[in-house]
Structure 1
Amino acid sequence: MSARLTLVLGGIRSGKSAFAESLVPDDGRSVVYVATGQAGDEEMSERIRRHRDRRPSNWQTLEAPLDPGAELSKLLASSCDNPAVLVDSLDVWLANLLLEHEPEEFSQIENLASAGLEALLSGCREADAFTVLVSSEVGLSPVSPNRLGRRFQDLLGTANQRAAAAADQVYLVVAGIPMQIKP
C-alpha cells in the first residue's frame, strides 16, 4: 500500500493541486475533498469552479475555510469506510485564519493554527484515511515587506514543516513537474 499521509508543496499555479488529485487512489473507496477556499470575488470563484470541474463527480466536497480539522473529524467519525482525504489547501486555510482575526491577536492565531493542524492530522490518522495535503511553499519567496505578509509566511512555514515531519511522502511541484523530496 502507498503512503498514508502525503504532502504536496508548490508555488501558485505550479500544478500542485492537479498532481495531488492524481495521487488519490481510484479503488472504490469514498473520497472527501476538503476545500478551504472562499469565493470572495469573481476571480476566486473561477478558480474554485475550475478545481471543482476537474474533480470526479463522486468525490464529496467539504467546505471548511476556517477549521478544516474539526469539520473533517466530525465527518470522518460518522464514516464507516477507510476514506481518502484531499485537503486543498493549508495556505488558504491559514490566510483565512489571519484575515478572520485582528493582527494584534497573532499569538491566538498561532495557537488556532497549531491546534487546527493537529486536529486535521490526528483526525485522518484515527480514521485510517489515505490523506493528501496541498500547500504553497513560501520558503522560496523573499521575506514580505509588510507585517501581515511576514506573519503569513511564518505561520505557513511552520505548518508546512510540521506537516512534512508527519508525512510519509513529500513532493515539491515546480512548473508542473513533481519531485519527491521525502520517501
Structure 2
Amino acid sequence: MPGTVNRVLLAVVGLVLLAVGGAVLAVGLGAPPPSWWLHDGPHDALLGVAERTRWRGEAWWWPTVIAVLAVLVLLALWWLSAVLHRRRLAEVVVDTSDGAGALLRGPALEGVLSGEASRLDGVAQAHVRLTGRSEAPEARARLLLEPHAEPVAVLDDLSARALAHARDSAALRALPAEVRLTAARHKSERVS
C-alpha cells in the first residue's frame, strides 16, 4: 500500500510540474497564456516591482522564505532517499501445504544464508540481504572472495548449496539472487 501511495503522489506531483512548466515554456515562447495564468504574456515579469518590494522592510520576510525553502528541499531529499532505499524483508511466508502457512523472520533467513555462504570454499566473508515481497523474496548477496577462489565455482556452490537450501527449507518456488563478488586485497609484504 505505501508503494501505491508513493507512486500516486509522484504521478500527481509530476503532472502538476509538467503542466506548470509546459505553460511557462509556452508563454515564454509567445503562445497566448491559458485562462488560469497569472500574467499577461511573455514580457510580463513573474514578480513585479510592487510584489518584490512589498515585504522588503520587514525583518522576518527573507529568513522565513529561506527557512520554508530549506524545509521543502529537506523533505524532497527525505522522500528521494525513502524511494531509493531498498527495505529489508521483515518476514517470509512459508507454505506449509495445509493452507495455513507460517511466517519466517527475514533476518533469521538472512543469517542462515550468510553463514552458509561464508562457509563455501573460496569465500572469506558473506553478507546476504532479503528484499522483495514476503511471498516472493529476493536475495542480494555480497561475497568477499579469497585470492585462490574461482568466481564461477563460488557462484555454482552458492546456487547449489546455500540458495537451494534456503529455497527448499522455506518452501519457495524460486529465490532469485543478485550476487556481488569482491576480491580480497592483501597488503604486500617485503620478503628478504
Bin of the TM-score, shorter chain as denominator length: under 0.3
Greater relative contact order structure (CA < 8 Å, 6+ sep)? 1
Q: What TM-score does the superposition give when structure 2 sets the normalisation length?
A: 0.27
